[in-house]
Amino acid sequence: MPHASHDAIDALNGLGWGPFFQGQITEPKAGQPARVVGQHRRKLEVQTASERIVVSTRAGLPPITVGDWVLVGESGSISRVLERRSCFRRKAPGAAVDEQVLAANVDVAFIVCSLNEDFSLNRIERYLSVAHDARATPVVVLTKVDQCADPAAPIREVRGLGSDLCIEPVNGLDAASASVLLSWFDAGTTAVLLGSSGAGKSTLTNALMGAKVQTTGAIREADAKGRHTTTRRSMLMLPNGGLIIDTPGIRELQLSECESGVAKTFADIEQASASCRFTDCAHQTEPGCAVIQQIEQGVIEARRLDNYRTLLREQAVNAQSVADRRAREKSTSRSYKKHQRAGRRFKKGED
């Protein structure tokens, strides 16, 4: 990079490069910077300053996801993963005790929720917690506004989640309506689309791209839920120079190590709890509970407190499970290395 041409630097800046990543390169021959733009099974597509290539990884590297910046060596394999500026993660779905990284180095998180039977304030709060934890700007995108008889009502409900929350009601099938989201992009700005299957993420992507680049599908009439049409994460460059990551529909978004994100999403409850009589108030039946008082006064919804408790409890349990697994793996690794050293000493004794 020290001798990179201005054209190469401009090309990298258009991919979201900046001083944060440049400052991590101290070796002149560390490798060629590239951004991960596609992920499918064990193969990664990366974009360098001049070309898009498929690369391989090597043992010992951390998990890599779309949006990561990596260094590609002369052999065509990834030699290093640069530190992330932001990271979207969740507990791995199912019974797996691990974390899954959804996207990296994102500036704006479009939380996509449709205005049909699948509309859920609880789910929006869940996504907001993940976005706040990732240190990205959350924008709630309410899709299928054309199919809602009274869109003003759900918009008011979402507005109640935070006075400074950004909300964009759109019709994804109308390019002019969806174009309001382009105002969130400058050249090199990266946004991620997060939401359930059938929420309209792929339709939005097509509208913003001005072309059909993602497959869209129908939803079930019974519950307005959709099937996965996007099957892998990919990054696309918009005509205006912005970058957008489309993710498969998320059926299960369990939080892990996300306490700060939950706290910011429920800032009203956090602020009220500071006035509770007891510092360890559980906001249930304790005397002098400022949170319960505000619920009784209609300032805070009871539903909101219930969801706050649920998310805090969930992230604590999952975080402990992941921490326990890491501790076991670390202990196993130490034991393995100890036996390796003992074996080498024994072999030397024989020689």
Q: Is residue 261 part of a domain?
A: no
- Final residue of a structural domain among 246, 267, 288: 246
Q: Is residue 330 part of a domain?
A: no
Q: How many domains does the chain have?
A: 2
Indicate whether 94 and 241 sit together in one domain. yes
Indicate whether 122 and 217 sit together in one domain. yes
Rounded average pLDDT over 117-140: 94
Distance CA 21, CA 124 (A): 31
Q: What pLDDT is attached to residue 215? A: 56
Indicate whether 76 and 123 sit together in one domain. no
Indicate whether 66 and 178 sit together in one domain. no
Q: Is residue 194 part of a domain?
A: yes
> C-alpha angle with apex 132: 130 to 134, nearest 5 degrees?
70
Indicate whether 16 and 32 sit together in one domain. yes
Q: What percent of the chain has pLDDT over 70?
A: 82
Q: Which residues pair with 140 in a beta bridge?
A: 111, 167
Residues 6+ apart with CB under 8 A from 198: 114, 118, 217, 219, 220, 224, 225, 226, 227, 249
Q: What pLDDT is attached to residue 218? A: 44
Residue 74, domain CATH: 2.40.50.140
Q: Is residue 167 part of a domain?
A: yes
Indicate whether 71 and 97 sit together in one domain. no
Q: Is residue 168 part of a domain?
A: yes
Indicate whether 95 and 238 sit together in one domain. yes
Q: What pLDDT is attached to residue 75? A: 82
Residue 143, domain CATH: 3.40.50.300
Q: What percent of the chain has pLDDT over 90?
A: 60
Residues 217-248: tens digit of each pLDDT? 444 444 444 444 444 678 999 999 999 998 77
- Final residue of a structural domain among 207, 222, 246: 246
Q: Is the pLDDT of residue 344 over 80?
A: no
Indicate whether 188 and 92 sit together in one domain. yes
Q: Is residue 91 part of a domain?
A: yes
CA 2 to chain centre: 32
Q: What pLDDT is attached to residue 196? A: 84
Residues 7-22: tens digit of each pLDDT? 888 999 999 999 999 9
Q: What pLDDT is attached to residue 198? A: 81
Q: Is residue 288 part of a domain?
A: no
Residues spanned by the domain of 133: 87-246
Please tell me which residue, 319 or 176, carries the higher pLDDT value: 176
Q: What pLDDT is attached to residue 58? A: 80
Indicate whether 151 and 204 sit together in one domain. yes
Which pTM value belongs to this model? Answer: 0.83
Q: Is residue 287 part of a domain?
A: no
